[in-house]
Structures are given as structure tokens and as C-alpha cells.
Structure 1
Amino acid sequence: MDEQLPRKNRKKFAMPDAYIIMLFIMLLAALATYFLPSGAFDRVEQGDITVVVPDSFHTVAGDPTGILDFFLFIQNGMVETAGIIFLVLIIGGTFAVIESTGAINASIMKAVNKTKNREHLLVIFVGVLLAVGGLTGAISNAVIAFIPIGIILAKALDLDAIAGVAIIKLTAYVGFNTSFMSPFTVLIAQDIAGLPLYSGIIFRCIMTVVVFAGTLAYILWYIKRVKNDPSKSLMGENRFPKGDEKVSKDVQLEFTGKHKLILLFVGLMIVFYIVGALQFSWSLNHMAAIFLIISVGTGIIAKMSPNFVVKEFMGGARNLVYGALIIGLARAIVLVLQNGMILDTIVHWLAVAMEPFSSVFGAIAMFIGNSLFALLVSSGSGNAVVMMPILTPLADIMEVPRQVAVTAYQLSDGFMNSITPASGVLLACLAIGGVPWTKWVKFMIPLIVLWYVLSMIFLAIGVIIGWGPNY
């Protein structure tokens, strides 16, 4: 009996909290600053961008991370990502104000009732719209704003928060990741590689259609799985951590003129931001300002008291504090690598490792190598200006078409951004949806495998056909 007691009382293994995982990764990065050689590439200005000079890697004095530095980087990470952190809190507060009017629930229920027993059509329609938006690059960051709508749609369909985030985030990013016209990724990469802008459209369009179809099929499979058996949800029993109340299909919510006016106002303001982002290079700070305007405007249209608007706004923001702060912690990991002067070392080693490859295997090696780099640097444009000056001469040496090198960068960067904890946009989406990063990764693994298989096939075909600027 006495021998069995400890075994009975033994605690089951619990998955570490996301903050613990981030701190562990940050600790490994800090330790690496003591053991990895420090180095840097030379960089030069080319127009509005800074590019890496190929073959310019050289050793520099190291700066290992001390104990005080370790915790200072956490603070600095929070400061550097303050714009995204506050954007998450403001969006959470704004959508709490909008939800309190009943406008979103009523509109979603009307759409669900009109597509009764054909919910997949609604998901496909929403997915196509977001994929088109992703193609332009306009909603690469603005996708954060649509996550609350995905969550409400998932509640109406009796799914889970993962499905809600996936319907919005993944469909938008398929368009963005395979785009032939995004100014933030493919156009920068083509310019650095010396290719005509917007070249390779036909092949890229084929990629977009195939990858989008595969992604949508996976999302619909997961939706069907959860709908048939809610216990199969990866979220467990608490399918909607940010409020598990369900939108009952039996309750007929009247979609009033006031509801329509509120949603029209919200839609116009989001379109206004997208236009501003494209025409005037508006930042995430502008998006935050737009959502504050939406909060005020919604309160006025719904004839709410100022005190009620503030109460709802603060309640919505409070629910997202946990997920918002982890964005700063993820940034701290990159700061450790940068300040320890080992980030360029890692890039250099990747370049050296890829040199022996040629042709098809060389293209695949570029793809895998850049995927590893994208785990640390989640900025698509930042990745392009660092890696394309390295990948371009590598492609010439390995007889890989430069168009393929651009695509190897583009696909690896985009797909890795869907799981890397270094992506502030991803963490913001998960924070708003209440989805733990660990559960999101578990959901994403099969899709990542599919994406990588498709990517390698397309890269191989690109090499075999000698993919150039004309198709």
C-alpha cells in the first residue's frame, strides 16, 4: 500500500505553458551566443532597401548574452513589438463593442441559415475572398482584423477556435504565400534577383490554385471531423477559450437595419485601411487608430452610453492580454540572436551547406535552408533582403533558374510564417482566437507536410522546365 501511494499521487505530465516554451527557446539562443562564432555580412543600400553583399561574411567580436541582458531583451522585445501588442488589445476591445450590438451574430446566423446543410459553401466563399485579398498583399497584416469574425462563424457552425482561425488566417496566407503580385515578398525578391517584376505569373497562378485547393480541403476535413464528433477537437473540452457560449441555430436573430449600418461602417473602415496601406504605406499603428474609430462609431450608431462602450472595450482587451504579451517574448528571441552576432552566422552556414547541391536538389536545399532561417526571421521583406542576395548567386552556381530561387524563398518564408513563434501576426491571430500555439502547431503539422511536398514538386518542375520570366 505504501509503495503504491507515491505512484497514485504522481502527477501526470502536463504540456508546458507557451511562455515556458518561449523562455526555453530564448535560453538556448542565449547559450548559443557563448559557443557559436560571431559574424556578419556587409550590407549596402539599393534604393529603399538594404541588401546583403554576397561572399562578404566575416568574423566580428562576439557579445554573449548575460543574465541581466537576458531579461532586458524580454523588456526590449515588448517595446519593439508594442505596436502589434496594442493592436491586438485594441482589436479585442473593438470587436467586444461590435459583438455587444448583436450585429455580427445576427449576420453570421443569417448566412448560416441560408446555407443550411451546406456550410462548406459558406467556408469556401469566405476562403476565396480572403485568398484574393492575400494575393494583393493588402491583408497580410490586416488578416488579424478578420479573426473575430472567423471565431463567431466557427461558433455558429458548432466547431472550435482552431477552425475559426484557420478559415481566416490560412486562406488569406495561401494567397499571400503564393502571390505573383505581393509588393512585400515576391516583387522585392524578383527585384533583388534581377528579374522583371510580375514575371512568372502563369506558373504562380497554377501554384496558388493547387495549394489553395489542398489547404481548403484540409480545413473542410477538420471541420467535418469536429462537427461529427466534438471530442475530436484539438482544443479539448474548452473549444472557445475566449468565451465558450455558442450561437444557437434555433434562435432566429433579427438582422436589423441598425445591424446592417454597423457592419457597413466596419467594412468601409477596414477597406479604408487597406487602401491606405496600399497607397500611402500605412502601418499597423494606422490600423489600431482605425479600430479605435470603429469603436467610437459603433457606439454612436448603436446609441450606447460612453460608459458602456468603455466597459465592453476593456473587457475585450482584458481577454487578450495573455496572448498579446507573448508576441514581445517571441521578438526577444530574435534580439538575442541579433545582439549576440550569431544570426548572420546561421545564415552563412545555411548558404555553405547548400553550395554542394545542384539542379533539382539545389532548389529543394534552398527551400529547406530558407525555412530554417524563416523560423527566426518572420518578416517576408526582411527575409528577402537577407537571403535573396545569397540565394541568387547560389542559384547561378547550381544552374537553378532565378525564378525558382525566388519561389524557394517565397514559399518557405510564407509557409513557415504559419507556425513560427517569431511571427507577431500569427501570435496576434492566435491570441485573438484564444488558440494556444502548441495546439495550433499540432493542427498545422499535416498541412505543413502537404505544403512542403507540393512546394518541392513545383520547385522540381520549375528547374526541369527552365522556368524563366516569360511564364
Structure 2
Amino acid sequence: MSDQKLAAAKAEPGSIGDNRLPRASTRTDPINPYVLLFFMLIAAAVATWVAPAGEFARTVTNGVSFVVPHSLKWMPQQGVLPGFVFVALAQGMIKSAPIIFLILFTGGALAVLDATGAIRSTLNAIIRRDASSELTTIVIVCAVFSVLGTLGVVNNSVVAFVPIGLLIAESMELPREIGAGMIYLGTYSGFNTAILNPVTTGLSQRLAGLPMFSGMSFRIGVYVVFVIATVLFLIARTRAYRRSGEAKAGEGSMDEPRPASSERLSARHLVVVGILLVCLSVFVYGASSRHWAETEMIATFLVIAIASGIVGGIAPSKLADTFLSGCARLIHGALIVGAAQAVSIVLSSGKILDPIINMLAGVLAPLSPTLAAVGMFLSAALMHVGISSGSGESAVLIPIFAPLGDALHLTRQVSVQAVLLGEGFVNCFNPTSGVLMAVLATSGIPYTRWVRFVAPLLLVWFVICVVAIAIGVAIHWGPF
């Protein structure tokens, strides 16, 4: 890559490994999601003065409110005043406080883990172990990063690990698309289902009134299918390149990528990884059997951060600074939950949310439950182009889709998964995604070339999404 292109690759906060991440030139910068949400908030406030107002009857079961289908009752206009827009923002932040602090503390804990060097050293050790076999390496790298993606450990910070994939591709004389794909596609094959991701699945389920991380068994099955499809795609691409004899890097390559970490795996690193696994396992048990939720998960991340910092030899003051810097890196994604919640508050206060739900139900009602669920999936995918934050989109859509699912006789688990799959599917070709643009800038891969490379996998992922949703509808995936 030329000096001019390198200079154009700017940096933005967000990595757990680097204070600043490279990104593509400003021509590809998406609209700031806060600006987009504020315009949506204004539009929602205006709509309360022009859209018909009404409200569904609701029943409460085990503390969860359910819409009674076909019970919409019209009422006089309930327009909100301009000043309420800002009140709604404050209310949204307060109402979303548990989720906001969960996201912030997740960033703090991951920053401490990264400072110990344990995650990077463990990854390097796993990758180097079987570096002699390219097929084995592809399987191992994809599997490891899919696990990190589905746990929410590595999502936005995936850019920091892309140089590992580039080095592997370089050593195996493969194109850098495959190197970046092993890391990025591997991570997002896990993120698509987000089995234990508090920022996507956890948030969406709590907004829908579902037990946190419920429905895990079915979600694990879908996760395995995504990973297998991704591994087979990369293996097929590797064999195709071998048969064609194409150049390993092609045009547009960049200078030699730097290693993500050269630190060797030590006993101290293994203890830190053990702490992480034990704490996450304890939380999974608590969430499944003792109804643990955001508060307990916040506490879990505090334990992970403090214990890992002590074992990693980080001084107390440095530990606190590192934790707070990690929180700061995720504040952009954390506060967007409250901003998105404000849109729902305005719509609800103006009594137009239920009529919107009723309209969508009217559009989808003639369809079978399966087609209606697929319609939710496609709507979420389209919305994700405008709101590239998974947590922000969930906060906007779940309050609408959960009661809409009730009206269409869909379980809330299916409604939630339709939104999550819509978000995940778009991530690997979304031109408004800052993470994807940063990955491509780091790898020196033009966007159009990346889309051509990944298109067959996206088609397979789309089929997996539709089939998973259809199965979820058929088995009445719950608990409700």
C-alpha cells in the first residue's frame, strides 16, 4: 500500500488491544448512529401529532407483559411536546442503566485481560501448534475466533487480531482475503448466534422479557452450522486458489503486517485464561439455574478484571486505569442503548407504538408464521445498514417486534433470534460498518473485491438463517 493510502487509514477508538484502530478513508464513514437516532427521535415526536393513537390490551404472566392480539383500542391524539424529547433521552438512559453498565464493565474487563497478554499469547500458541497444515490451521483459527465471537469477547476489537490472519496467509502463500476471513468471518460466524453475548443476545432477551441466555441448546446447534459452513467456505477458497495458481496477495497489497503479539504463553497467562473460563462457566450456571441477569454479570466481569489483573502482575493503580480506559472505549456503544430506548419511550408516550405494531401485523398477518418471522429477519437486516450498532438496533426493534410476535402467534424467542440473525448476516458486507471498513483498510482489500470474495458464503448464511427461523417457528422455540 502506498504512503498516501496508509496516511488515509485513520484511527478510531474501540480495540481492546490498541488505543486506536485504523479505518477506511472518510469517504466510507457512516453517519454517526447518535445523529441518526436523534433524527429518528425527532421524527417519532412529530409522528405522535399526526399518526393515529391507540393501545393494545395486555396481560401479565410471571411479570412479563404480553399483547392481546386484535385488541387495539383507538384514542384521541397524544402528541408529545418538544421538551419531552430530551426528557425521553434522560429516561432512556436511566431505564437502560443496567445494560449500559454491563457494556461498560465488559469493556473494562476485556481491557485488563488484554493488558495481561493472556488472550493474545494463547491464540498465538494455538495457531503456531498446527501451522504445518493449512487446513488444520483454518479449522483451528475459525473455531477459536467463533468461540470468542459468540461469547462477545472479540467483536469490535477483531481488527486488532487481523494481522494474525494476514501473517498466516503470508506464511501459507495465500491471498490476504483468506487471512482476513479466518479472523473476521470466524468471529462473526459465532457472533451471528451470540450464545453468551451480553451486548446482543443478553440485551435483546431482557428487552423481550425472556430469561437471559435462554434457548441456548438450539442456538448452539445453529452456531455449529454457521462455523462449519464458514470453515468449508475458506477451505474451498484455499483449494481454488491452489488449483488456479493465483498470486498470493494480488494487487493492492500492503506492507508486511506486524504481528499482533510475540509474547510467549506462560503459566501466568494460563491462570488468567483459567480465571476467565471459570468465571464465565459460573455465570452460565447461575443464568440457567438461578436466574442471574445483568447485575450478576456485571459482578462477574469485575471479578474477572480484578483477579486477572492481580495474577497478571498489574499494579493496583495501573489496573484501575486500564479498567477505566476499557470502559471509555465502549461508552459510544453503551450510551446508544439509552438513546435508542428514548425512541421507544416517545412512541409509547404518544400512544402510536401499538398502532405501528398493528400496521406491521396487518402486513405480515396474511403470511404464515414462518414467512412473518422471515419478514422480521429481513427488516432487521435492512435496518442494520442504517444502525450498525447491534445493541442500538436491538433497543429499537425488540420493543416493537416482541409484541408484534405476540400478535402473530410467534414465540418471543423466535422474534429475538430473527433480529439477531438479521444483524449478524449484514455485518460481513455492510458498507456502513466501521469495523468492516477498518478490517479492509488494515488488510489492504478493496471493498468490492471483498464482497465478491465473500458472496458465496453470504448466500449460504442466508439459507441457514431462514432455515433456523423456520425450525424455531415449527418447534415453538421458547420458553415463550
Partner deviation per Cα, 1:163-214 (whole Å, 9 max, x = no partner): 867644542543759xxxx99999xx9x9xxxxx99x98xx99977655544
Q: Does 1:364 align with 2:371?
A: yes
| Of 108, 125, 134, the match for 2:143 | 125
Following TM superposition, by how much is the alpha carbon of 1:90 offset from its aligned partner in structure 2, in angstroms? 1.8
Unaligned runs of 5+ in 1: 1-10, 135-142, 192-196, 238-243, 393-401, 422-429
Whichever residue aligns with residue 88 of structure 1, its letter is I
Contact 1:162 1:435 in 2 (8 A): no
Residue equivalent to 1:154: 162
Q: Any idea what SS the aligned residue of 1:16 has?
A: coil
Residue equivalent to 1:65: 80
Aligned CA distance change for structure 1 residues 92 and 333 (closer, same or farther; 3 Å):
same
What is the correspondence of 1:49-198 to structure 2 with a 5 Å cutoff? Answer: 49-116=64-131, 118=134, 119-126=137-144, 129=147, 143-147=151-155, 150=158, 153-158=161-166, 167-174=186-193
Contact 2:405 2:415 in 1 (8 A): yes
Q: Equivalents in 1 of 2:468, 2:299: separation in Å?
A: 41
Q: Does 1:390 align with 2:407?
A: yes
Q: TM-score, normalised by structure 2?
A: 0.64
Q: Equivalents in 1 of 2:204, 2:318: separation in Å?
A: 42
Partner deviation per Cα, 1:278-335 (whole Å, 9 max, x = no partner): 1111112211111111222123223332112112222222233233222222222222
Q: Equivalents in 1 of 2:102, 2:358: separation in Å?
A: 35
Q: Does 1:314 align with 2:324?
A: yes
Whichever residue aligns with residue 152 of structure 2, its letter is I
Following TM superposition, by how much is the alpha carbon of 1:434 offset from its aligned partner in structure 2, in angstroms? 10
Q: Equivalents in 2 of 1:453, 1:13: separation in Å?
A: 29
Contact 1:89 1:321 in 2 (8 A): yes
Q: Any idea what SS the aligned residue of 1:39 has?
A: strand
Q: Equivalents in 1 of 2:237, 2:159: separation in Å?
A: 15
Q: Any idea what SS the aligned residue of 2:193 has?
A: helix
Following TM superposition, by how much is the alpha carbon of 1:391 offset from its aligned partner in structure 2, in angstroms? 1.5
Q: Any idea what SS the aligned residue of 2:338 has?
A: helix
Q: TM-score, normalised by structure 1?
A: 0.65
Question: 376-385 or 59-68: which moved more?
Answer: 376-385
Whichever residue aligns with residue 375 of structure 2, its letter is I
Following TM superposition, by how much is the alpha carbon of 1:88 offset from its aligned partner in structure 2, in angstroms? 2.4
Q: Equivalents in 2 of 1:30, 1:63: separation in Å?
A: 10
Q: Equivalents in 2 of 1:70, 1:232: separation in Å?
A: 48
Contact 2:104 2:330 in 1 (8 A): yes
Contact 1:350 1:369 in 2 (8 A): no
Q: Equivalents in 2 of 1:124, 1:12: separation in Å?
A: 31
Aligned residues: 394
Following TM superposition, by how much is the alpha carbon of 1:72 offset from its aligned partner in structure 2, in angstroms? 1.7
Contact 1:167 1:219 in 2 (8 A): no
Q: Any idea what SS the aligned residue of 1:59 has?
A: strand
Q: Equivalents in 1 of 2:397, 2:40: separation in Å?
A: 22
Following TM superposition, by how much is the alpha carbon of 1:154 offset from its aligned partner in structure 2, in angstroms? 3.3
Instruction: Compute the RMSD of aligned alpha carbons.
Output: 5.0
Q: Equivalents in 1 of 2:436, 2:220: separation in Å?
A: 33
Partner deviation per Cα, 1:15-44 (whole Å, 9 max, x = no partner): 432322222222222222222111111111
Following TM superposition, by how much is the alpha carbon of 1:412 offset from its aligned partner in structure 2, in angstroms? 2.6
Residue equivalent to 1:330: 340
Q: Equivalents in 2 of 1:25, 1:221: separation in Å?
A: 43
Partner deviation per Cα, 1:364-408 (whole Å, 9 max, x = no partner): 24531575489676599867752343223xxxxxxxxx8xx8897
Q: Equivalents in 2 of 1:33, 1:161: separation in Å?
A: 46
Q: Equivalents in 1 of 2:286, 2:396: separation in Å?
A: 20
| Of 397, 401, 418, the match for 1:412 | 418
Q: Does 1:258 align with 2:268?
A: yes
Q: Equivalents in 2 of 1:168, 1:468: separation in Å?
A: 28
Q: Does 1:33 align with 2:48?
A: yes
| Of 233, 236, 247, the match for 2:260 | 247
